Structure 1
Amino acid sequence: MKDNQLIDDLRGIGGAEPPLGFDPDRVADTAAKLHKRRRALTGVSLGVAVAVAATAFSVSLVLPGDAEEDIGMAAAPTSWPTVTVAPRQSDMPSPNVDLSKQMERLKAELPEIIEQAKPGAQLKVGRIDQYQPNNWDHVSIGVGFVGPSGEQNYNLGIFGKAMKYQGGFNLNEKCAVLVYPPVNGKPRTEEPGPGTRCQKFPRKDGSTVVVEEQIVTLNGSIGASGVPEGEKLKMLTVSHFRTDGTLVQLLGTIGVPMGVPQALTDNEAVRIVTNPGLNLN
């Protein structure tokens, strides 16, 4: 499974409950179609996993983000580096872990984590799920923000090492033109679309934050409630590649029309994904 396929799944399971002013099934379907239009599915699927014994315990580390590492606004570069994508040789088995205690802790602590990043935010916490089948080391939480520009939904995902590898999340492949191995002798490349903002921000602890905002256009085959055909939408993704090999990612589940601000600034989103309380320990 490559990260784009997994992202489609996450957009579908991460909708906040109760619905934030629209049909969540249609939101998930629209988001998946939007993403598939701009990225072809690649990689291998999740296979039957070999169970690996693991002990789950809950550790709370709700701490405020480091204001000294605020990033400002991610930029749209004038050119993109080229990265050759190496084929993965094998799947990683699921660790088959029970994350029920961690999910209880995360749902209880999330309002405080969001308050530290965006004081006074009107937050709605939705579903919290562990990626199935085979109990992967991944938790997804649906979060919604209410503001003057309306209601916006995000998926907050915490990826353990196995799910990060299996999903194909690779820091080197971010903010770049990707060159894939030829298929039937034909080369294939994938590059960020016009207007894309994407920037990597190294942090003092050796980790890296990536802020991405892609622009997509609705056509006759896809649509969202209240969004006309031809509307351009902004799709925000903020990822924290951590030094322990895990990943925390905030993913917009439906696009925001041009001219409408994101519910979170880049800095606020970064403060969320870098909070040490977002972990699977």
Structure 2
Amino acid sequence: MDEQTLAREFTAAVRTEPPLGFDPDEVVTRVARRRHRRRTVLLAFAGVVVAAVAAAVVIPGADVPAPPASSPGIAPRIAPSAGERWWPPGTGQIPQPTDARLNARAPRIAEHLEEVLRKMLPAADPIRRDSLTTAHFGGIMPTSQRGVSITEHGGPEDTGYSLTVEVFVPTNPVKRFQPRQLCAEMKVQISPSTTCRYAAVGTAGILMTSEADTTDREGTLQHGITVTDYRADGSYVLVSLGGTIGVSGPLPFTAEELATLARDPGLTF
């Protein structure tokens, strides 16, 4: 049987099948956009986390206790610094959450995040969750961490913005570093335009804000903001905000608002 006969018979067979009820090309395009959007935020704007190396399935666990409530007291003092404080505090050995703990906390962290975002955003600007993952990640500083990563998309599907919130614990042994060392690496690995600001939080915490202009794969100049709350207990929260590939526009949050989000006590294991 020649190729033309095969082609005619294949076409006739396909025509007799019922319609799919959706456009497969549209679905593939939508998924690809989401993948590109997440990759842009993680690689171009976060500056710290550069690859997920071992993903885990998120499975809620009812047998894992909730995190302890924050003890009442005076909020830790926040003061501008030159980024010279070493982190994490102590000897570089950090208590590690179990896989069961991560899997149980991940959906609760995501739900809390969305409750906070709904209060921060106008009702006419809904958000949609793109992904929720527990994983082992590689990065610049720290070079290895485990935790929860959540990506939210706001605004129109094809434009809008992406917000990634990640709650991490460095894996042991942890190599201590200074935020200004991290910023220097980000200038090399992410963008020379990276600017950083630092604040000392209490006696052991650090708040770091970085901003950078990068060109995406469609040649569009994008501005990204990342705020990281390096906490006294050795965990940290990284919040990254950026636009959609090929679309340039204003971002819905200021660096100060992202800092407030990063320091939210509900974003914890």
Q: TM-score, normalised by structure 1?
A: 0.55
Pick 1 or 2: higher relative contact order, CA cutoff 8 A, min separation 6.
1
What SS does structure 2 have at the residue aligned with 1:190? Answer: helix
Q: 1:94 to 1:244 in 2, by over 3 A?
A: closer
**Aligned ranges 1:75-224 → 2 under 5 Å:** 96-98=98-100, 99-118=102-121, 120=123, 122-132=126-136, 137-146=146-155, 150-162=159-171, 165=174, 171-175=179-183, 177-178=184-185, 190=188, 193-204=191-202, 206-218=204-216, 223=217
CA distance in 2, matches of 1:33, 1:243: 26
In structure 1, what is the Cα distance between the partners aligned to 2:248 and 2:40? 20
Cα offset for 1:60?
7.2
Coordinate RMSD, CA, aligned: 5.0
Q: 1:235: how far off?
A: 2.4
Structure showing greater Rg? 2
Q: CA deviation at 1:93?
A: 11
Whole-angstrom CA distance in 1 between matches of 2:191 and 2:233: 31
Which blocks of at least 5 consecutive residues in structure 1 are unaligned? 1-18, 47-54, 75-79, 83-90, 180-188
Conserved in 2, the CA contact under 8 Å of 1:211 and 1:238? yes
> 1:97 is aligned with what amino acid?
D
**For the Cα contact (< 8 Å) 2:37–2:245, is it kept in 1?**
no
C-alpha distance in structure 1 between counterparts of 2:113 and 2:205, whole Å: 22
Letter of the aligned partner of 1:127 in structure 2?
S
Amino acid of the structure 2 residue aligned with 1:153: S
1:221-248 CA distance string (max 9 Å, x none): xx2xxxx43x322122111000101110
Deviations 1:31-63 (A, max 9, x none): 57757xx99x89xx88xxxxxxxx94223759x
Distance 2:122 2:204 in 1: 27
Structure (1/2) with the larger helix percentage: 2
The alpha-carbon deviation at position 162 of structure 1 amounts to 2.1
SS of the equivalent of 2:171 reads: helix
Sequence identity percentage? 15
Length, aligned pairs only: 210
Q: How far apart are 1:199 and its partner, in Å? A: 0.5
Change (3 A) 1:123 1:29: closer
TM-score of the aligned structures, taking structure 2 as reference length: 0.57
Unaligned runs of 5+ in 2: 1-28, 55-62, 85-92, 138-144
Letter in 2 for 1:144: H
